[in-house]
Structure 1
Amino acid sequence: MSLLVVGLSHRSAPVSILERASLPADTRTKLLQDTLAAEPATEATVLATCNRIELYADVDKFHAGVAELSTLLAQHSGVGLDELTPYLYVHYEDRAVHHLFSVACGLDSMVVGEGQILGQIKDALALGQELHTAGRLLNDLFQQALRVGKRAHSETGIDRAGQSLVTFGLQQLADGEDVDTWAKGKKALVIGAGSMSSLAAATLARSGVAEIVIANRTLARAERLAQILTEPGGTGVAARAAEMVAVGDELDRADIVVSCTGATGLVLTGDDVAAAVRDHRAPLALLDLAMPRDIDAAAHRVPGVRLVDIESLAEASADAPMAADVDRVRAIVSDEVAAFGAAQRAAHITPTVVALRAMAADVVAGEVARLEGRLPGLDEKQRAEITQTVRRVVDKLLHAPTVRVKQLASEPGGAGYADALRTLFDLDPETVAAVSRADLNDADVKNRGRV
C-alpha cells in the first residue's frame, strides 16, 4: 500500500474554482465513505480549509488511485472532472508526506507560518477516525504532521514569517495603518461562531474595538462566544450575541464586519452593503474569510466600502518575503520526512519478523515435546534446562538476521526485504497478515485516544 494525495489549493487553482469546489461537512463524510467503497483505496481522510481541498488515501495502485480520487473529488465538489483536472495536483509516497508536513508547518499557507492549519489537520484526522476511514498509515501520518507543525513553531521563528489569515486580513483593511490604532474604538460585527470567527473576534478584541456583536444561525453558539469574550479573564471587550435575522440592523451600526460561515449562498448581498452605508457615519470595512464567499463581490463597488476577501488576500500574499526561519523549517520537514519513511518501512517488516519468531517458537516447542517422548525419564530441572538451551540457540541464530533485516528495511528501497524473509523461511502469508491485523487494531485504539 502507498500514500497518495490528490487536491487543489490557492497555489494551483483560482479562487472561483476553490469556491465552487468547497466541501460542506456532510459532503466530506459522503466523500470518505465513497472513497473506501471504491477500489483501490483502503483508508482515506480529507483536509478541507478555506483555501485547500485535499483527499489523502492509502492505495495499492497509483494510476487507478489518481483516477478514482480525482473522479470522487469532482463528483462531490460539483465541479466537472474536465474542468477540475487542470487545477489538481498529485503527490505520492514520500512526496505526499513532505507535502502534508509542509502544510502543517504553514509553508504552503496563503500567509506563510500561520498556525491555524494545525487545528484543521487535527479535524481532518478526527473525521477519519470517527468514520473509521483512517487506518494505521493515516493515523501515523497525521499524528506525525501535528508534531512536526508544533516543532516548527516551537523551534524556529516561523511565526514571525506570517500571521493568521485573520490578522493578515485586518492588516489589509487597515491599509498600512497600525491595526490597533485603526481598530481602536470601532464597532465590529462578526458573522459566524466557528473557529475562524472565534479567532477573528478575539483578534478584534485585542486590537481595541469598543464593541463586538456575534451573529450566528445557532444563537446559543453566538452567546457562548460573546460570554467568553466578556467573562473575567477574557478580553474585557463589550460583546453580545445576535440572531442572523438581525444582521441587517447590526450592519447599519458596524464599522468592521468579519464573516466566516458555512453558508452555501451569500450572507450579505451588494444591496445589503449599499443600504447599510447609505447613511453610514464612517467607511465600512468588510473581511470575508468564507469559502464559498459570504459577501457579494459587488460590495467592492459600493462607495465608502473596503472589502477584503480570500481572492484579494491571495493577491496580497503572493509576493510576501520569505523569512530566514522558513529555511530552518524546511530542514525540519526534510528530516521528519526521512524519519517517517524509515519508521514506516521498518514497521512494514515487523509482522514478518514476529511471524518468523512465532514459527521458531513452534519448532522449539515441537522438538522439546518430541525429546520428552523419547526420554521420558527426564526430571523437571533437566527438561527446563534443555528447553532453555534450545531457545537460546534459536534466539542467537535469529538475532543478527532479524536486527539487520529491520535496519535494511528502514532504508529507501527496503520494502522487498519482507518478501525475501517470507520466501526464505516459507512463512505462512496468513500468519503474517494476522499479525498485521492485530497491530492495526492496537494502533487504532491507541491513536483514537490521542486526538
Structure 2
Amino acid sequence: MYLMCVSLNYHQLPIELRERFSFTAKEVSKADQLLNNEKSILENLIISTCNRTEVYAVVDQIHTGRYYIKRFLAGWFHYTVDEFSQYVSIMTKDDAVEHLFRVITGLDSLIKGEPQILGQIKDAFQVATAEKTTGVILNHLFRQAITFSKKMHTKYRVSELAQSSGQAGLHQIKTDFGSLNGKTLAVIGLGHIGKHTAYNASNMGFSKVFLLNRTDSKAQQLAEELQGVVEARPFTQLTSVVENVDAAIFAATVKQPLFRVQKRLQTVIVDLGVPRNVALTGTVPKYYDIDHLHLILNSNDEKRREMIQKIAAEIPQEVQDFYLWEKQLHIVPVIKGLREHSLKIEGEAYDSLLRKLPELNAHERKVISKHMKSIINQMIKRPIKEIKELSVTPGATADINFFCKIFGMDNLKVENQKNGN
C-alpha cells in the first residue's frame, strides 16, 4: 500500500486555470464514490478549495494509482490524460504526508498560517468518511493532521497577526481599549478593504458595528448579510455616528476628506484612505493613518515568519510518527506478501502460455501480460480492502492468520497483537 497526493494548486496554476478544476460541495461526494471504484484505489479523499484541488489516496501500486487518479480527474473535467498531466503535481509516501501537514497548518496557503483550510479539510474528511471511501490509513492520517493543525494554531496563533491594513486597524483599536465589550464601531466605505474590515469586526466582540457607504443600499445589503451586531446607517448621518461611537474606521476612496475634526474628539479614528478620509483641524488623541498601521504590519511579518519556521520544524516529527504507526500495523507486510505471491503466480502462468504459444509477436505478448496483471489486481483489490479494515478490530490476529492460510502465505502469520493496533 502506498500513500499518494495528486495536486492542482495555486503554485502551478493561475486562477483562470484553477477554476476549471474545482469540485462544488455537492460534487465531492459523488466524485469520492466514483474514484473509489477505480482500479488500484484502496482509499481516497478529495479536497477542493479556491486555491487547490487535491486527491489523497492509498493505492496498491504507485504507477497504476497515479494513472487511474489522473484518468479519473481528466475525465471529470473533460480533458485527455496527456492534456491533464501537464497541470498536476504528484507526491508519494513521505512527501505526500509532509505536504498534507503543510497544507492543513496553512503553511502552503496564499496567506501563510491562515486557519480556514483546517475547516475545509475537516469538511472534506467528513464527506469521505460518510461515503466510506477512507479506511484505516487515511482515517488515522487525517485525524492526526487535524489534531496537529489545531495544536499549531493554539501554540503559535499565527492567524491572530494582522495581515491587512483593515486587520491592523482593528488590532490597534482592540489594543487601545483592552476589551471590546460594550464598545461601538463605525466602518465608513465598503469597498474591498471596508467590506473585509466589516466582516472581521462583526465577530470580534463589539456591541454594535455601524456601516456607512455613499450608496446607502450597499451598506444595507452588507448589514443584512452579516446581521447580529451589524447595522446600516444612512450616509447623511456620518458626522453624528462618528462623534458618538467609540471607534471609526474610514476606508473610502475619495479625493476630498469625508469627515473633518473641528474640535477635540474622543473617538479612536483609523484612516485607511489614500488620500486620507479625515481632515484634522481639531484634536484626536488617538488617530492612526496608513503609515502608522504599516509599522504594525511590518512587525507582524517578522513575527509570522518566525512562527511559520517553528511550525515547519515540527512537521518532520509528525511524518515520522505517522510512519511509525503504520509500521506497527501487522497487516502491511501481509498485503505486500499477497501482491508478491499473486504476481509470482501470474508470472508463472504467463511463461507457461508463451511456451504453448511461441508464435505470439511482441505486441500480442505485451497485451496479454497487461491484461493478466489487470485481472490479478482486480481479484486481490477487495480482499486487501477487507483485511486492511479487519486488521484493527479485536479479532485481528485470528483474521490475519486465516487470511494468510487461505492464500498460502503461512510464513507471514502474525503473533498475537493488541486490540485496535
TM-score (norm 1): 0.50
SS state at 2:134 partner: coil
Residue 84 (structure 1) shift: 3.2
Would you say the 8 A contact 1:186–1:209 is kept in 2?
A: no
Q: Who is 1:238 aligned against?
A: 231
Residue 156 (structure 1) shift: 2.7
Q: Who is 1:59 aligned against?
A: 59
Residue 347 (structure 1) shift: 1.6
Residue 87 (structure 1) shift: 2.3
* Deviations, residues 396-435 of structure 1 (Å, cap 9, x unaligned): xxxxxxxxxxxxxxxxxxxxxxxxxx99x995256999x9
* Deviations, residues 219-263 of structure 1 (Å, cap 9, x unaligned): xxx98x75xx42xxxxx22279xxxxxxxxxxx99xxxxxxxxxx
Q: Output aligned runs, 1:201-350, within 5 Å.
A: 201-203=199-201, 206=204, 210-211=210-211, 226=226, 229-230=227-228, 236-238=229-231, 283=253, 323-349=305-331
Q: Output aligned runs, 1:344-423, within 5 Å.
A: 344-349=326-331
Q: Who is 2:293 aligned against?
A: none
Q: Who is 1:144 aligned against?
A: 144
Would you say the 8 A contact 1:101–1:145 is kept in 2?
A: yes
SS state at 1:323 partner: helix
| Separation of aligned partners in 2, 1:2 and 1:200 | 46
Residue 177 (structure 1) shift: 8.2
Aligned in 2, Cα 1:65/1:426: closer, same or farther, shift over 3 Å?
A: closer
Q: Which amino acid aligns with 1:144?
A: Q
SS state at 1:90 partner: strand
SS state at 1:152 partner: helix
Q: Which amino acid aligns with 1:185?
A: V
Q: Who is 1:88 aligned against?
A: 88
Equivalenced residues, count: 270
Q: Are residues 1:186 and 2:168 paired?
A: no
SS state at 2:108 partner: coil
* Deviations, residues 258-283 of structure 1 (Å, cap 9, x unaligned): xxxxxxxxxxxxxxxxxxxxxxxx64
Q: Which amino acid aligns with 2:187?
A: G
Question: Which structure 1 segments of 5+ residues have no match?
Answer: 191-196, 216-221, 231-235, 241-251, 254-281, 285-319, 353-421, 444-451
Residue 96 (structure 1) shift: 0.8
SS state at 2:330 partner: helix
| Separation of aligned partners in 1, 2:328 and 2:54 | 27
Q: Who is 2:114 aligned against?
A: 114
Would you say the 8 A contact 2:9–2:51 is kept in 1?
A: yes
| Separation of aligned partners in 2, 1:350 and 1:79 | 35
| Separation of aligned partners in 1, 2:403 and 2:12 | 49
Residue 113 (structure 1) shift: 0.5
| Separation of aligned partners in 1, 2:329 and 2:115 | 31
Residue 138 (structure 1) shift: 1.1
Residue 159 (structure 1) shift: 3.3
Residue 57 (structure 1) shift: 1.0
SS state at 1:210 partner: strand
| Separation of aligned partners in 2, 1:432 and 1:49 | 44
Residue 75 (structure 1) shift: 2.1
Would you say the 8 A contact 1:23–1:76 is kept in 2?
A: no
Q: Who is 2:48 aligned against?
A: 48
Paired-residue identity, %: 29
| Separation of aligned partners in 2, 1:200 and 1:38 | 46
Would you say the 8 A contact 1:21–1:79 is kept in 2?
A: no
Aligned in 2, Cα 1:333/1:181: closer, same or farther, shift over 3 Å?
A: closer
Higher RCO by CA contacts (8 Å cutoff, separation 6 or greater) = 1
Would you say the 8 A contact 1:23–1:77 is kept in 2?
A: no
SS state at 1:87 partner: coil
Aligned in 2, Cα 1:130/1:330: closer, same or farther, shift over 3 Å?
A: same
| Separation of aligned partners in 2, 1:4 and 1:72 | 15
Q: Which amino acid aligns with 1:152?
A: M
SS state at 2:35 partner: helix
Would you say the 8 A contact 1:74–1:80 is kept in 2?
A: yes
Would you say the 8 A contact 1:20–1:78 is kept in 2?
A: no
* Deviations, residues 130-187 of structure 1 (Å, cap 9, x unaligned): 1111111111111111011012122235336x66xxxx5xx37x6x984689994336
Would you say the 8 A contact 1:158–1:323 is kept in 2?
A: no
Residue 104 (structure 1) shift: 1.1
Aligned in 2, Cα 1:77/1:283: closer, same or farther, shift over 3 Å?
A: farther
Q: Who is 1:289 aligned against?
A: none
| Separation of aligned partners in 2, 1:113 and 1:63 | 33
Would you say the 8 A contact 1:20–1:79 is kept in 2?
A: no
Aligned in 2, Cα 1:427/1:155: closer, same or farther, shift over 3 Å?
A: same
Question: Which structure 2 segments of 5+ residues have no match?
Answer: 174-184, 212-218, 237-251, 255-300, 335-399
Q: Who is 2:10 aligned against?
A: 10
Q: Output aligned runs, 1:69-80, within 5 Å.
A: 69-80=69-80
Residue 351 (structure 1) shift: 9.8
Aligned in 2, Cα 1:345/1:199: closer, same or farther, shift over 3 Å?
A: farther
Residue 38 (structure 1) shift: 1.0
| Separation of aligned partners in 2, 1:4 and 1:51 | 19
| Separation of aligned partners in 1, 2:84 and 2:123 | 25
| Separation of aligned partners in 2, 1:140 and 1:199 | 38
SS state at 1:13 partner: coil
Residue 86 (structure 1) shift: 2.0
| Separation of aligned partners in 1, 2:197 and 2:30 | 29
| Separation of aligned partners in 1, 2:5 and 2:59 | 10
Residue 2 (structure 1) shift: 1.2
Q: Which amino acid aligns with 2:188?
A: K
| Separation of aligned partners in 2, 1:181 and 1:142 | 37
| Separation of aligned partners in 1, 2:89 and 2:122 | 22
| Separation of aligned partners in 2, 1:179 and 1:44 | 41
| Separation of aligned partners in 2, 1:198 and 1:431 | 64
SS state at 2:142 partner: helix
Which shifted more, 113-122 or 201-210? Answer: 201-210
Which shifted more, 66-75 or 102-111? Answer: 66-75
Aligned in 2, Cα 1:430/1:68: closer, same or farther, shift over 3 Å?
A: same
